[in-house]
Amino acid sequence: MKEMTGPFRINLQETFERLRRRRRHSPIVSIRENVAMSFEFFPPKDEAAERRLDRTLDALGRLEPAFVSVTYGAGGSARDRSARVVSHVASRFARPVAAHLTCASASRDEVDAALDGFIEAGVRRFVALRGDLPAGAERAAIERGGYRRSHELVAAIRRRGDFEVNVGTYPEKHPDSVDIRQDIDALLAKQDAGATRAITQFFFDTDCFLRFRDQAVAAGVRIPIVPGVLPIHNFGGTRRFADGCGAVIPAWMDELFAGLDEAPEVRDMVATTVATEQCARLIEHGVEHIHFYTLNRFELTTAICDILGLGPRRGVGDISRVDGLKRA
């Protein structure tokens, strides 16, 4: 398959053009002015990764996202790196930056210190998460003296001011939850604590997201539920991510991507098409905001947004118009 990269490169461009033409005559065109997007980045670990992140910031910044977020490390050095990256992204990215904050593996004082540090640095948007419990740690030992659940962290942030607080949710059930109702109850608790938006873990079963959204709304969730989309840069890596968070990879995707990690141009074409169709279907079912897990890469996300007609041509400015939320 590697010997066929030339023809496949041509086919890739032809596929993009066909999809663009089809989108121009689809229902998406009439509503794309109301569709926002946001991007997630993570702190790079070395100079090469830093350069790649900067290239990604330059490329995705031209798409005018509603905001971007930077993930947060549990350890002290990782937290410091997260803070530096938040500051760096804010300095060269003309869009709002949200700082991730987790509470599972730190004391209340440690979390409060990190939170106050972000606020002092000018951060006004957060993604509040429980975070993963350290391997082998007793839950009681971790929870003693700290924020036990993410809704407590949300409340702590809101006590400090009228900040935007995004939270996470799992349309396919959190691995620790008994059932989906428990996840909806957790989302309701975060909403009551002051959360302003929920962003889902990535998923590939669009029907599952739509069912979860409908159930959550019926249960009283009023904040926007934003689907998280993960373009597939490497199927083996995506499989590991999915196994770790409980996301289901449908059998048809296993068949579609079989062997394609050895043919990256073909894989990128397939991955772009799969994610574009997923986003198109979400938009057709009323989704007004899509959050992309970029993995600090821009190529696939840029292609997906371009095919869908998203980007600077949309004219979407402040996220408050899209989500119906008042912003300072």
Active site residues: 40
User: Distance between CA atoms of 292 and 279, rounded to whole angstroms?
Assistant: 10
Closest CA to 296 of 37, 79, 54: 54
Q: Is 197 helix (H, G, I), strand (E, B) or coil?
A: strand
Sign of the CA dihedral 172, 176, 177, 183? negative
Q: Which residues pair with 68 in a beta bridge?
A: 39, 97
User: Distance between CA atoms of 128 and 218, rounded to whole angstroms?
Assistant: 24
User: Distance between CA atoms of 293 and 201, rounded to whole angstroms?
Assistant: 9
Torsion of CA 271, 50, 95, 126, to 10 degrees: 90
Within 13 Å of residue 276, how many CA atoms lie on the same side as its CB? 25
